[in-house]
Amino acid sequence: MTSYEVELVAPGDCDVEGIDSGRSETITVDEDEYVLSAARRQGVWLPADCQQGWCTTCAAELLAGEVDQSDATRYYDVDREADMILPCTARPRSDLRLRICQMDELNDLRAANSLPPGRSR
């Protein structure tokens, strides 16, 4: 089983148990594991809701590395092109560096492209 190092970078306005805002933490994620559940298991309480790759609550920016996002139930080319991922359904395919707490940014991107969850969110 291959495991990868995943560095989670928390912006200054990101209040997540297990990482001081403005700092980063590195966790280990197996190749067949989702980043979100691995983080929570290791004490980093990433934001989440559906955990089915739909709601965007867990959104993160992929700063480095590669993920398999094929299990997400709602994921668009524009997300991929903007390096936005949904860690609840993302499996690592390399070591990763992620900027967490990017729900508003992903929702803005979706709205700008007339994609759900849309402007009413």
Partner 1 sequence: MSDDKPHASGSISPGDTSERVGMAVLRERGLDPEELREKLIDAIGAEFTTYYYYTNLRMHLAGHEDYKEITEDARLEDRAHFELVVPRVYELGGHLPNDIRDFADRASCPDAGLPVPYDDESGQLDITTLTAEDVLEVLLEAERCAIRTWTEICDMTRDVDPRTYDMASRILQEEIEHEAWFVELLSMERDGEINPAGHFVRGEPGDAPYSTNRRFNDSA
Residues that bind partner 1 in the complex, under the rule CB under 8 A: 48-52, 54-55, 57, 73-74, 116-121
When binding is defined by CB under 6 A, the residue of 58, 85, 98, 106 that contacts ligand FES is: 58
Which of 84, 78, 62 is closest to 112 using CA atoms?
78
From the list ligand FES, partner 1, none, which binds 58 (C-beta under 5 to 8 Å, kind-based)? ligand FES
Query: With binding defined as CB under 6 A, does residue 86 bind ligand FES?
Result: yes
CA angle centred on 107, ends 44 and 94, rounded to 5°: 45
Q: What is the rounded CA–CA span in Å between residue 26 and residue 5?
A: 7
Nearer of residues 22 and 118 to ligand FES, judged by Cβ: 118
Cβ-based neighbour number of residue 92 at 10 Å: 26
Q: What is the rounded CA–CA span in Å between residue 48 and residue 96?
A: 19
Query: With binding defined as CB under 6 A, does residue 56 bind ligand FES?
Result: yes
From the list partner 1, ligand FES, none, which binds 111 (C-beta under 5 to 8 Å, kind-based)? none
